[in-house]
Structure 1
Amino acid sequence: MTDMHWLMILFIGIASSIDNFAVGLSYGTKGKKITYTANLFIAFIAFIIADAALIAGKSLGMALPKTLPEILGGAIILLIGLWSLGDTIKNRSAAAMPEAEDIDRNQDNLIEIGEVFFLGIALSLNAMGTAFGAGMGGLPPLLVAGFVSILSFLSVGCGQWLGLKGMRSNIGKASEYLAACLMITIGIYSIVSSSM
C-alpha cells in the first residue's frame, strides 16, 4: 500500500470516531464516567460492525468493472461528508445518541460494560456508510476496522477526560466539522485517483 492509502485509513478512522469523542465529551460534562472495560466493549462493537460493512463493500466492489468500485466508494464517502457538513452548519447533531442518564441505569455516574451495548451499536452504525465506501474502494477490511476500533477507544477516552475536566461542546462542534471535511477529502481523492 502507498503512503496515501495509509493516510486515507487514518483519516477514515478519525472521521468514524468523531461521534465517539463527542459522546465521551458530553457524558463527561454530565459527570458520567465510561469505565475502561465499557470503552473496550464499545471499541469491540465498532470493529465488528466496521469490518462487516467493509467486507460487504469489498464484495460488491469485486463484482463491478475495474475503476467503478473506487469511484463509487469515493462518491459514497463524499456524499456522507457533505451531508454531515450540512447538518453541522445547520446546527443539528449528526447522530441521535442515547442520553447519559438513560445509559446509566442505576444512576451511580459510572457507565459500565453491561450498560453500553446500545450506545456501542448507535456509534458504530453511524460509521457504517463510510466503512462500506472504504471497502468498495478496495481498502483492507481488517486493517481499516482495526484503526476504527483503536481510534474509537482513544476518542471516547479523550472526550471523557476533557468532559470531566469541564470542557464544553464547542470542541465537539469543531470536531464535527473536522470529520465532515476529512470524509469530503477522502471521497474527492478516491474519485480523482481512480479516474487517472
Structure 2
Amino acid sequence: MEFWTVCILAIAISVDGFSVGLTYGLRKIKFDLIPLLINSVISALAVYITGTLGNSLAGLIEQEMAETLGGIMLIIVGGWLVYSNIIDYNRNNSSPKKLIHKDSEGAQLVWSLNLKPLGIIINILREPVKADFDNSGSINQFEALMLGLALALDAVGAGLGAGLAGFFKPYISLIIGVMTLLFSGVGFYLGSLLDGMLPGKLEVMPGLVIMFLGFLRFF
C-alpha cells in the first residue's frame, strides 16, 4: 500500500512535465534530450532535498503530529495548485484589458513587474513558452535550468509535506526524475501531433490527487 501511495504522489508531482511538453509541442518549440534531462534532474533533486528535510524534521517531533503537519502541508500545496490552475484557466479563456500608460510623447507603454531572477520563474510558471528567452524556437541548457527551477517550486512543498507525513522514501526522487522525463517527452510528442490543447480543467487533477493524499493522513 505504501509503495502505491508513493507512486501516486510521484505521478502527481511529475505530471506538470506533461503539460509543459504538450505546450512546447503545440507551439513547435524544440525540446531536445539534454534540456529534458536537466529539467528532470532538477525536479528529482528538489524532491530529494525537501523530502529528506521533511523526514529529519519528522524525527524531531511526535509521529502523530508530524503526520498531521505533513497532511496539512500536502492539502495546502494541492489546494494551491488547484486554485492557480483555475485562475490560469479563467485568465486564458477571458479577454482582460491590459493596463496601459501613455508617456509624455503619447507613446503607449504596458506596465510590467520584472523581479530577477524570481520574476523570470514566476513568468515561466504562468506560461511555459516564456522559458524560450531568446525566441529561438528551441530550449537550450540555460533555459532548461530556469524551467526546471520553475517546476521544482511545486515539488518543494510536496516533497517537504511527504517527508513530514511519512510518505517520502529516497527512491521516490528517482521515480519522479524518470517520470518527469517520460511525461515531458510524451507530452511534447503528442503536442507536435495534435491541433487542440489539453483541456484546462484537467490540469487541476494533480492538485486534487496531492490533496487526497494529504487527507489520507487523517484516517
The gaps in structure 2 that reach 5 residues or longer are: 92-121
Maintained 8 Å contact 2:128/2:147:
no
Alignment of 1:1-196 (within 5 A): 4-90=1-87, 91=89, 96-97=123-124, 99-100=128-129, 102-103=131-132, 105=134, 107=136, 109-171=137-199, 173-174=201-202, 176-192=203-219
- SS of 1:63's equivalent? coil
Maintained 8 Å contact 1:35/1:111:
yes
Structure (1/2) with the larger helix percentage: 1
Q: 1:166, 1:53 → 2: CA distance?
A: 36
Moved over 6 A (4+): none
- SS of 2:50's equivalent? helix
Residue number in structure 1 paired with 2:106: none
Maintained 8 Å contact 1:104/1:110:
no
Kindly name which structure, 1 or 2, has the bigger radius of gyration based on alpha carbons: 2
Aligned length: 186
Q: 1:189, 1:70 → 2: CA distance?
A: 10
Q: Give deviations 1:109-157, integer Å, cap 9, x for gaps.
A: 3323343111111111121101110011223442121121111111111
Q: CA RMSD in A?
A: 2.1
Q: 2:79, 2:11 → 1: CA distance?
A: 16
Q: Cα gap change, 1:168/1:191 in structure 2, threshold over 3 Å: closer, same or farther?
A: farther
The gaps in structure 1 that reach 5 residues or longer are: none
Maintained 8 Å contact 2:86/2:201:
no
Q: Give deviations 1:12-69, integer Å, cap 9, x for gaps.
A: 1111123211111111111012101211111111111111110111111110112111
Supply the AA of the counterpart residue of 1:58. N
Q: 1:172, 1:161 → 2: CA distance?
A: 19
Shift of 1:163: 1.0
TM value normalised by structure 2? 0.76
